[in-house]
Amino acid sequence: MFLAGGGTPEQSLLLDGAFIGRCSSSGPLVYVPTARRDQPPADSLSWFCAAMAPHGVGAIEMWHDLRPSLPVDRIGGLYIGGGDTVFLLQEVRRTGFDTFIRSAAAAGIPIYGGSAGAIILGERLGGSKAAAAAGQAMMAGLGLLAGHMVGCHFQEDEIDRLRAASIDCGAPIIAIPETAGVIVEGAQLRNMGPDPVFLLDGMEMLSVTAGEAVGLRRPRDV
Question: Mind listing the pLDDT tens digit for each residue in 55-107?
Answer: 999 899 999 999 999 999 999 999 999 999 999 999 999 999 999 999 999 99
In a domain, 220, yes or no: no
Radius of gyration of the chain (CA): 16
In a domain, 199, yes or no: yes
In a domain, 222, yes or no: no
pLDDT at 221 over 60: no
Please write the tens of the pLDDT for every residue from 2-57. Answer: 999 999 999 999 999 999 999 999 899 999 999 999 899 999 999 999 999 999 99
In a domain, 221, yes or no: no
In a domain, 124, yes or no: yes
Phi and psi angles of residue 5, each rounded to the nearest 5 degrees, phi first: -75, -5
Question: Left if phi > 0, otherwise alpha if psi is -120 to 50, otherwise beta: which for 62?
Answer: beta
To 10 degrees, the CA torsion angle through 80, 84, 90, 92? -10
In a domain, 11, yes or no: yes
In a domain, 19, yes or no: yes
Domain containing residue 202: 2-215
CATH of the domain at 162: 3.40.50.880
Count of domains forming the chain:
1
How many other CB atoms are there within 10 angstroms of residue 68's CB atom? 20
pLDDT for residue 133? 85
CA distances from 40 to 104, 112, 168, 202 (A): 26, 21, 37, 40
